[in-house]
Amino acid sequence: MTSEEPGPGEPAVPEEQRWPGPDLYTLRGMVELDLALERGVTVDAAHALLSDAVVHAFGSRWYEWLTDALTAEGRDPAELPALLTDDALAERVLERVRARMAADDEAPDPPGGESGWYAYAPGDPRGSRGRYRRAVARRRENARQALLTPPRRRVAGRRRHR
């Protein structure tokens, strides 16, 4: 079994949902790492790992596309820290990079519009998504019951089994 295959009881994750994805977090992570390198921080292992991940997510020409996108936005290509502070700029640059990915045959396919960050996996076998929804739906009733019900007395040496 490889690290890509799901373990027993784990849902299979499609290739397009595996980390790293061509998303804002991957792009900003690489920018933060480049800035750390410029300051002289030793991040050799992190740089090796993340640079491979960025190439896997965006393709081998990602840096060229990033600087072209910054230039198209009227920014200096060396002005990478702007991607960390300006969310709107970062989103526009990411969309330009994804458009270039779609045009390049060697680059991975950009994600569709249905991608997003969620608290639970789509095929959650334990059903925790349903438990969460029920808890949210009954939160007012549960809060009222907690306020009105007297606390249980604790008796030493006796434990209630369920």
Question: C-alpha angle with apex 135: 131 to 140, nearest 5 degrees?
Answer: 170
The model's pLDDT over 72-85, given as tens digits with 9 standing for 90+, comes to 999 998 888 999 99
Please give the C-alpha separations between residue 152 and each of 84, 146, 149, 160, in angstroms, as whole numbers: 51, 11, 9, 11
Domain region containing 32: 15-103
> Is 10 inside a domain boundary?
no
In the predicted model, what is the mean pLDDT of residues 50-66?
A: 89
CB 97 within 8 A of CB 58: yes
> Is 49 inside a domain boundary?
yes
pTM for the whole structure: 0.58
Structural domains in the chain (count): 1
What are the structure tokens assigned to 71, written together?
Answer: 């230039």
In angstroms and rounded to an integer, the radius of gyration of the C-alpha atoms of the chain is 23
Local confidence band at 161 (pLDDT 50, 70, 90 cut-offs): low
Residue-level pLDDT at 1:
41
Q: What is the secondary structure of 70-101 as a DSSP string?
A: HHHTT--TT-TTHHHH-HHHHHHHHHHHHHHH
Q: How far apart are the first and last CA of the chain?
A: 38
> Is 127 inside a domain boundary?
no
